[in-house]
Every structure is written in structure tokens, then in C-alpha cells.
Structure 1
Amino acid sequence: MSITDRSTGSAGVRPSGPGRPGNPTVAEVLNAIVEGQPPVRITAYDGSTLGPTDDPVALEIRTERGLSYLLTAPGDLGMARAYVSGDLALTGVHPGDPYEVLRILQDGVRLRVPPLGEALALARGLGWDRLKPPPPPPYEALPRWRRMLAGRRHSRTRDSSAIEHHYDVSNAFYELVLGPSMTYTCAVFRDPGDTLEQAQAAKYDLVAGKLALKPGMRLLDVGCGWGGMVRHAAREYGVKALGVTLSKAQAEWAQAAIEREGLGHLAEVRHMDYRDAPREHFDAVSSIGLTEHIGVRNYPVYFRTLRDRLRPGGRLLNHCITRADNRMPNNPGAFIDRYVFPDGELAGPGRIVSEMHDAGFEVQHEENLRQHYALTLAGWCRNLVANWDACVAEAGVGRARVWGLYMAGSRLSFERNKIQLHQVLGTRTGPDGDSGYPLRPDWTA
């Protein structure tokens, strides 16, 4: 079957458009690599179209470069490159929240590999230059093999570079997206109608309850971000709290917020690697969203480092994104690795529990907050939509598109149980078996 007579089996879905004699249209190219009917309308710069004509949601391939992005990096990376650069447009959805089109595409698009003869005919018709990868957009991180120049994976230098790529975008940008809580981790919703601020405060209260925080205790919060847990613990529980983060921009913002709120006598945030945190015996350690950045091979060192900072009977609350099972690869997809979290890694919840046990923690409680993270991401997307113009002015339209794409896509992954969010509570139980932990949990969920 030739690319020009391949039927889709549905009126209004067959590729159409002018095309040039002997040259395939963009719609014909896409028809050759997509199984069945595309679930949305696709229009192209050459005037050709594919898919249902009455669908309000559509994809528009605006340039030849956009087509080259899609063909040279099939899957999420090619689509992200074309979208971030403006060569691919999504109509019918806001760029701050493309959730609906991502849901439709995930449900309805399956790629196929054309037979060799058909593929060669396409390549000749398009011109071989279309199969040469264009330079990636400026927001894209280097491929992993080139990051080796910045040091061994998860070395201090390379971790610092990865954190800078994601978190040192603009504090003002994050304020617009995250809202007043300035918290970039999963919230806890007592009701789906809760505001983000209510849900983030509830999350901090849940962490504080699991750690049994009381006035006068000492808390270490590793990967503290903009100091949300540190400030909440000091303000609401009278705890002396120290936060550490690899992001200089976060540390500066957090310390300024501490001073504004009059919490300087109790709270402090330092620009510091968690491995360099004071070797003191804290009453509690919280790690909220750090584990994803340290690398699965480093779990033993990571958990031993946190255990060594705890007094006997002290508690660790580890809060992190996980895989839905232990058969999935630790590395994220290409889009997330290049545009969102370079060098990020996830493991299944069982791996977290096992590594905590092996590092000397007694695991006392585990909880999955997967559905809560989907609600959190939906809230961040609403903020991005509401503040779109200001976000674009602050960080650029390309980066704003990246954040909308990744947050909407992550929401979909949490909803469909492709990734999860687990809190695991452990104690540094003493040699006599005294953990300080009660017969039943001593917090209110």
C-alpha cells in the first residue's frame, strides 16, 4: 500500500491537502506513522490536514522545523521540542494547562514503524534534510553523555548544576505558579475543594504530626526548597528548624521570608548540600521532595546520612515520588530528563522501605498520597493559566510552555497510577529496642 492511498476507514479523517507531485504532504507522513485514526485534528504548514474535522482540540504543525523535531525524536521529546519552540501549537486548550489534549493523545495515539520500502519512499519524498535533527530549544538540558563533562552522575558538582537548571529559574515565576505557600511538593487535601494554601498547610501539619514535633525540638529539613516546612514548624510548633538546599536562589528567598515573618530566632535556611548538614543529633528530620534528585544508587549513603543526624528515638519522614512498581526503569522519560529534572531518578516504594531498613531505620508507617498530587498539579496549572502573561514576562514563553506541559502530563500520570507519592516514617530505634514510638500512631491524618 502506498502512502497516498492508505485508508483510515473513516470519512473526514483521510489526509487532505495540496502537496507537490511526488512529494508526500505532512498529513500523509503522519498517516504513515500513526496507527488508525488520530483522535484530534492535525493541520500542517503545507495546508494538509488529518483527523476529525469537527474536533475543537487540534494540533498545528507550523513549520518544517516542527516536523523535523517530530520525526527525529519520536515520542515525548520530539513533541516537546516542537511545542516549546512554537513550531507546534495546541488549539482548544490553554498553554498553561494542556491536560485535555494530553489525555486525548495518550488514550488515542499509537505509533507504528512503516515497512522499510514505505519509510524510504517517505524519506526521499520529504528530502533527507528533514531527517537531520534541528538544534534543540535553549531550555533543553544537555544529553546525559555530555553532562559527564560536569562530573560523575550525582557528584556534588553535577547535582548542583541539575538543581540550578530546574529551581533557579526565577523566584517570581515560582511565586506566580505555586501561590502564597511557595511550596513545590504534594499537598494534602481533606476535600477536593480545598485551596492550595489550605492543602499545603495540611501537608505540613501531617508531616509535623508524624514527626511528633513539639516546642523546643530541633528539626533538620533537607532539600527544604523555599523553606515552607522550616517556617511552618517554627511558626506553628515552636520548633528550632534548619533547612538546607542546593539552590542558592531558594536559600536567599527562604531566609528573607524567615526574617519577614519574625522567625529568625527559630528558623534558618542555608545554601548547602544535604551531605554537609551539621552532624548534630536532631530530634527529627524531614525530607520532602529530595529523594528524587539523589540517584537510586545513592540511597544507602543518603539514608545513613540522615540517620546519623538523628538522636536515638528520633524520627525521619521521607516524602517522595515513586514508581508504581519495581519493574519500571528508574530513569524518567526523555522530556522530563531534558527539560524538567536532569538526572532525576525514581524507584518503587518497596525500594524506599528496604533502603531505610538497611540504613538502620525501623519503618513505622507508610502512606500513598498519589491522588493528592494530581489535585496539587491541577492547582498549579490553574495558577499558571491565571498568571500566564506575568509568567511569560518573567521566565519566557518557552519555559512557561515547558511548565504547563510537564505539570499537566504529571497530573495525568498520577491520576492513572503511573507514578505515586509515598511518605515513609522511620525511627532511629536504640539498641535496647526503644523507638519512642507509641503503640498506635500519635497524629491525626
Structure 2
Amino acid sequence: MSRTEPSVGKIFDRVLGSGGEVSITAYDGSSSGPADAGVKIEIRSPLALSYLVSSPGDLGLARSYVAGALEVHGDLYTALRALVSQVDQLSAADRLWLLRELGPRHLRRVPLPPEELPGRFRRNVDGLRHSRTRDSNAISRHYDVSNRFYELVLGSSMAYTCAVFPEADATLEQAQENKFDLVCRKLGLKPGMRLLDVGCGWGGMVAHAAQHYGVQVIGVTLSREQALWAQKDIVAKGLADRAEVRHSDYRDVTEWGFDAVSSIGLTEHIGARQVPAYFRFLSSKLKPRGRLLNHCITNPNTRVAHRSRGFIDRYVFPDGELEAVGEITSAMQDNGFEVRHVENLREHYAKTLAGWCVNLDENWTEAVGEAGEGRGRVWALYMAACRLAFERHELELSQVLGVKVGDGGDAGMPLRPDWGV
């Protein structure tokens, strides 16, 4: 006698419980959770369950959402926070039961969303991991989506890195301006100095340093679209006599003798094995007493694997790798720098991501028109998930200030930090 298969709602009752912030409705007419929940998850088709059961880690949820087989009505961040909290509490027996109930009819190969990249080894057609060609293709895939799409998500600052909020109620634009200014102050910039900004994005740091500190700046980015937008912005601001942005690999910069180097959000892309050589190269570009400010996402400890996996690797930052802040400082110390200041800004990145999520939600129709619904769903999911990761201390954001010490140990640093907050 065959057993009666439980409804989708009954299965999620076992997983999520009947209370909480989220309710579930399913294609078979069943439901789970409180009917008046502020966030509702709609399981639109059996395809969603097939993705959840057949995919490792977070790929199942990502594939279901990006493909539109699963819809979230309400705040995506709230839904993820509730789901993570509930899943963390699942016992081994709960997980075995879930696999047994869903597995037989849903363990099957299903087509992947077109936004998903192949696995790491299948991407070797573009060259080995962190070869120049493969790095260029990875950057282009993420950043050359549409400059207008990024304008809608990032706001007027066009800054795609962690902001620094001077006050809790500061706007995102104020916080991004404050971030660039903090970097300038940490680097001790003064009129007439020369700055190299590697991984310069849309040129926010380049323009700020040239406009407000009177320095000569070269910025480089592997994204052609970023370089075109940034150079046009520099001309519009009347800064072309002292600032430029190049579409170039940072390793192709031939100039040297800079007073300072800023690296804001590039270290995540270069690969853990390349980090020592990266800092040696940047040191070679600096004068004695020149400073480096390295700003990047870091792992919370050295036991976390460097390589990104699952959803982030396949959909967002292919070949991305993170190090712990201790690994960053050690690499700097061993390759030309004395470390003088370290700061963790993870709460600021959570607030930054929350602001980007609001921007995307408010501009959803136009953003989807620019990049497509699947790509819009990828960005919505990754930004909400990363916000949660920073809040849960699964990620950190580290600023590390180093100096290339001159002859006789002369670092040219103030006795106490003079850059304020």
C-alpha cells in the first residue's frame, strides 16, 4: 500500500514551524505559517522543490528565486533572516526527514537559470583561475551589466563599496562621500601629491581626491563600461587636467613614485595566492614614506575557506576569494609595508547594503528593463544575503593602512592618528 505524500505546506510546517515572520503558499493549494505574516513565500511550481533538493548549499534557493519558481512577497531580507534562523535550528533528524519526503520525486536534473555560470573547472576555457584573461572576463561579467542599472542601485555616488556612516541617520550619499574623505585623510593627501587608485570602479575616489585634495590621480579598472563612465564624469567635473581613469589591469601601470595608493574593493578579486605579489607590486609603485590604504571584505577568521562557493561564485563574483584581516596584514608586512592602523567596518557595510536594496526596490521596473528580470533577482538576493552575513559576523570589512618605510626607519607618520572618524 503506497503512503500518502504530504502537502508542500505540511513539509514546510516541519521545517519552519507554524509561527514566525514568514508564511508559505504552494502550487498544490497548501500553506504553512501565519496567514497574517508580513512576508509571504510563494512556491510557484514543483521546479522550486527540485532545485532545493538537488542543489548543494545555497544554490537551491538561489536557482528557485532567480528562475521565478519561488517568489517572495514582501521584504526579501526579512524572509532570508527568518529562513536562516529556522534552518539553523533543524536537527539531523529533521534534515533526514525532509530529504526522505522531498527526495524521491524531486531528485532530478533540471535546467539551470541562464544567469548561472558553470563551475570553476568548466570555466578553465577562459584560462586558469586568476589569469589575466579569466580575471578580465569575470570583472566584465559583473560590472559591465549596464551603467544605468548601477546608477539606479548605487545612487548618485556610483560607489560600489562599503560606505562609512558619520551618523546613524546619514544618507547613503553622505556616507559614501565620508568614506572617500576618510581614505584621503588616512593617506595624508595634500595638494600636488600623486595618487594611484587601483580597481577604481566608476572613479568616485579618483574624482574626490582630485577635487577636494588637489592631487594628481590615475585610476585603473578592468571594466570598460566603468572606465568610460568615469572618464566622462571626470571631464564633466572639470578635473581632466589632474585625473584620469584607464581601462587597464593594475599590473600594466608603468608609472611609479606615487605618494599614495588606494585599493578599495579590489583585493577580493585577485586570489589569495596572488596577495603577496599584489602588495609587492603596490609597494614598488610608492615613494619611501608613501602610504597604502587597503579596503576589502574579509573573512571573520583564518579557518574560513578563501574561495567563494555556491550562489556567490556562480552568479555574482566568479572566482572571488576572501582572506582574513590577519592574512592581509601579514602579507602587507612581508611585502614592503609597515602596518600602522586597522579598522573593521562590518556594521557600515550592512547599512550600505540595506541602502542599495532600497534603491533597487524603488527602481525595480527600470532596473529590470536595463538588465533583465533574472539579473535583477540575482542582485536583490545577493545584496540582501550579504547584508545578513555582515550582521551575523559571517563577513567583515577591513581597512588596513600601511606605509613604505624610508631609510633609517622614517615612516613620516604622525605620532597619533590625525584623520579623525
Q: TM (normalized to structure 2)?
A: 0.94
Q: Name the aligned partner's letter for residue 71 of structure 1.
A: V
Aligned 8 A contact 2:157 2:173 in 1: yes
Q: Are 1:216 and 1:239, in contact at CA under 8 Å, matched by a contact in 2? A: yes
Counterpart for residue 212 of structure 2: 236
Q: How does 1:45-124 map to 2 (within 5 A)?
A: 45-93=27-75, 98-110=76-88, 111=90, 112=92, 123-124=103-104
Unaligned ranges ≥5, structure 2: none
Contact preservation (8 Å) 1:38, 1:108 = no
Deviation at 1:333, TM superposition (A): 3.8
Distance 1:215 1:119, change over 3 A: closer
Assess if the C-alpha contact under 8 Å between 1:279 and 1:308 holds in 2.
Answer: no
Q: Give CA deviations for 1:299-329 in whole Å, capped at 9, x if unaligned.
A: 1111001001101110000000111111112
C-alpha separation between the residues in 1 aligned to 2:360 and 2:221? 25
Give the structure with the higher percent helix. Answer: 2
Give yes or no for contact 2:49–2:102 (8 Å, CA) kept in 1.
Answer: no
Please report how far the alpha carbon of residue 27 of structure 1 lies from its aligned counterpart in structure 2 after TM superposition.
3.4
1:41, CA displacement in angstroms?
2.0
2:380 and 2:398 map into 1 onto residues whose CA distance is 24
Cα separation, 2, equivalents of 1:100 and 1:337 = 23
Aligned-pair distance for 1:22?
Answer: 4.5
Structure having the higher Rg: 1
Q: Which residue of 2 aligns with 1:439?
A: 415
SS at match of 1:258: helix
Cα shift at 1:107: 1.4
Q: Which residue of 2 aligns with 1:364?
A: 340
Q: How many residues align?
A: 418
Distance of 1:56 and 1:258 partners within structure 2: 45
In structure 2, give the amino acid aligned to 1:138. P
Bigger drift between 51-60 and 262-271 goes to 51-60
Match of 2:360 in 1: 384
Q: Which residue of 1 aligns with 2:387?
A: 411
AA aligned to 1:197 is E
Provide closer, same or farther for how the CA distance between residues 41 and 277 of structure 1 changes in structure 2, counting only shifts above 3 A.
Answer: same
1:224 and 1:73, CA in 2 relative to 1: closer, same or farther beyond 3 A?
Answer: same
Q: CA deviation at 1:158?
A: 0.8
Identity %: 59
Match of 1:206 among 155, 171, 182: 182
Matched ranges for 1:312-327 at <5 A = 312-327=288-303
Within the candidate set 103, 123, 148, 2:124 is matched to 148
- 8 A contact 1:192–1:375 mirrored in 2: no
What does 1:326-405 align with in structure 2 at a 5 Å threshold?
326-405=302-381
Cα distance in 1 for residues equivalent to 2:172 and 2:38: 30
Report the aligned-residue RMSD.
2.1
Query: Structure 1 residues 434 and 120, CA, compared in 2 at 3 Å: closer, same or farther?
Result: closer
**1:89-128 per-position Cα deviation (integer Å, ceiling 9, x unaligned):** 11233xxxx111111111122455679899567544x2xx
Q: For structure 1, which segment, 57-66 or 204-213, has the greater mean C-alpha deviation from structure 2 after superposition?
A: 57-66
Please give the secondary structure, in 2, of the residue aligned with 1:313: strand
With 107-116 and 366-375 compared, the bigger mean Cα shift is at 107-116
Normalization by structure 1: what TM-score?
0.89
In structure 1, the partner of 2:26 is 44
Provide closer, same or farther for how the CA distance between residues 31 and 242 of structure 1 changes in structure 2, counting only shifts above 3 A: same
**Aligned partners of 2:192 and 2:215 also within 8 Å:** yes
